[in-house]
Amino acid sequence: MKKKLTTVMFRGTKAQEEKLLSVIEKYRDTEGFMMPILQEAQEIYGYLPIEVMRIIAKETDTSVEEVFGVASFYSQFSLNPKGQVAISVCLGTACYVKGSGQVLEKISEVLGVSPGSTSPDGRYSLEATRCIGACGLAPVMTVNNEVYGRLVPADVPGILEKYR
């Protein structure tokens, strides 16, 4: 899986760092602590910038390479900040067979954002996601965790209008 480091400047706050340190403290003695720490770190920052991975490495006495190795392995971990409007289109089999590919194309066309990237102003991010388990409503997309189902490409402009 290809994952690139972000070019967006790191804007972490002191409060976020304190929260992160307390999370690390909480899991320090847990066997297999790296995944839970990364998961909660992503909740705090919204993504996993290299600065955060450095803190985790230092505090847990591991190398940055090890932390990055885990973070880059799993698709849930995002090395890039998401847009304020985070759009995911399901490309699971059931959705794909029912045409979610065309829905993704349409969104990309309307927003001018290619799948897997964020618009330059940081407003929209678009990604193709794996099955979210709502196969009965295929094809589905989510916008900031709100689920839209039984889509056709023509529905796209109307839905996006709500998030202008």
Q: Are 101 and 139 in contact (CB under 8 A)?
A: no
Does residue 144 touch other proteins according to CB under 8 A? no
Does residue 159 touch other proteins according to CB under 8 A? no
Stretch that binds other proteins, among 8-16, 33-41, 48-56, 115-123 (CB under 8 A): 33-41
Does residue 115 touch other proteins according to CB under 8 A? no
User: Which two tokens mark 97?
Assistant: 């067979």
Does residue 1 touch other proteins according to CB under 8 A? yes
Does residue 98 touch other proteins according to CB under 8 A? yes
Does residue 114 touch other proteins according to CB under 8 A? no
**SS3 of residue 138 by DSSP:** coil
Residue type, 65: E
Stretch that binds other proteins, among 17-25, 48-56, 87-95, 119-127 (CB under 8 A): 87-95
Toward other proteins, which CB reaches closer, 54 or 130?
A: 130
What is the secondary structure of 71-88 as a DSSP string?
A: HHHSTT--SSPPPSEEEE
Does residue 10 touch other proteins according to CB under 8 A? no
Cα 88 to its chain centre, rounded Å, is: 9
Does residue 74 touch other proteins according to CB under 8 A? yes
User: Which two tokens mark 136?
Assistant: 């009965």
Q: Are 38 and 70 in contact (CB under 8 A)?
A: yes
User: Which two tokens mark 138?
Assistant: 């295929």
Stretch that binds other proteins, among 10-18, 67-75, 116-124, 155-163 (CB under 8 A): 67-75
